[in-house]
Amino acid sequence: MWVYRRRCCLDVMALRLDNKPLLVFQTRFLPHASSKWCHLVLAKKLQIERKFPPKRQFSRLVVEHYWLDLRLVRTTVYSRFDPRPTMSFLATKATNAWRHWVVLWKRYPLCRGMVTYSIVWPVSSICQQRIAGKKEIDWKQVARFSFYGGCYVAPTLFFWVRLSSNMWPAMNLKNGIRKALVEQVSYGPFAMTSFFFLMTLLEGRGVEAAKQEVSTKFWSTYKVGVCFWPIMQTINFGFLPEKNRVPFVGACSFVWTIFLSYMKSLDAARLEKRNERLKAKKELEALEAAGAAAAAADNLTP
């Protein structure tokens, strides 16, 4: 077998016939790679120039050939008898591996999202713990965030984005605001409820504790989300160029995940007491306002 190095970003393949190199050209011109007869016919049909190397000179041999548009391509061919690979050969192998990874990355968007969220969510948890001033990182919580983000958030968000894109395909300010508003009354409440409920179950605290977690923290989180995402989407679709929209949404998602991690770290009992105090304070203010209005009405009465 021949080992080869690519130049000019061409996928090439070295073929052999009777233990001699026959030709080098793009693999997409090979409908039947196992047929030597097809190689000869195809070479004649495409008028590919064949050059045979001198005897015993196989290392770093430059083979010149023409393909369909007759552009000259230089491809350095390596022999399997090279004593050791060169740095350029290793760099080429690394480049090929990276290109294959990019192809797979674009071909499977769901897997791409799962890998991304399994990294972004634990990083957000670590940032929240550092901001909170913790001296030691809770790695169990980081692992829970990684599992939840990769195995639950990524699939559900993938199907929601696909559904919303099919409903509003145009990428403009009007559809961006519309998607953000619809998300706040459909996917947003579902995602927040699932976050508090499932993360509590992953902590091993039981269903009742998960229900209490949702009832205590959902409304406070939802009010922040309603204020945050429509504004961010308006900025995204109204003031940013198209090439910067995806990174901007990624940065907003990272900040939002840090906030979710903060809300999850709050003590449910303490948060419930605080909500009760705020509710009592609002009721007292409402009673005072009603009393003031009644007193003003009495003063106006002759």
* This prediction's pTM: 0.58
Summarised one tens digit per residue, pLDDT across range 174-191 is: 887 888 888 888 888 999
How sure is the predictor about 301, in pLDDT bands with cuts at 50, 70 and 90?
A: low
Handedness of CA 162, 168, 169, 174 (dihedral sign): negative
Question: Could you tell me how many residues make up the chain?
Answer: 302
pLDDT attached to residue 1: 32
| Gap between the Cα atoms of 216 and 227, Å rounded | 19
Handedness of CA 247, 253, 256, 262 (dihedral sign): negative
| Gap between the Cα atoms of 14 and 29, Å rounded | 13
Strand ranges, E, within the chain: 3-4, 12-17, 20-26, 61-66, 72-78
Summarised one tens digit per residue, pLDDT across range 260-288 is: 998 888 875 566 666 677 777 777 787 77
| Gap between the Cα atoms of 148 and 155, Å rounded | 11
> Considering the chain, what percentage of its residues have pLDDT values greater than 70?
65
**Residue, of 104 and 302, whose pLDDT is higher:** 104
Summarised one tens digit per residue, pLDDT across range 118-174 is: 999 999 999 999 988 888 888 999 999 999 999 999 899 888 888 888 888 877 778
Q: Two tokens at 100?
A: 């294959």
Structural contact between residues 199 and 148, judged by C-beta atoms closer than 8 angstroms:
yes
Q: Residue 47's Cα: distance from chain center in Å?
A: 45
Sort residue 47 into left (φ over 0), alpha (ψ -120 to 50) or beta. left
**Residue, of 77 and 284, whose pLDDT is higher:** 284
| Gap between the Cα atoms of 57 and 65, Å rounded | 18
Give the side-chain half-sphere CA count within 13 A for 182.
13
Ordered alpha helix ranges (H), 136-206: 139-148, 154-167, 173-185, 187-202
DSSP H or E stretch at residue 51: none
Whether residue 18 is predicted with pLDDT greater than 60 in this model: the reply is no
Structural contact between residues 225 and 294, judged by C-beta atoms closer than 8 angstroms:
no
CA-CA distances (angstroms) from residue 279 to 1, 217, 273, 284, 293?
78, 15, 10, 9, 21
How sure is the predictor about 45, in pLDDT bands with cuts at 50, 70 and 90?
A: very low
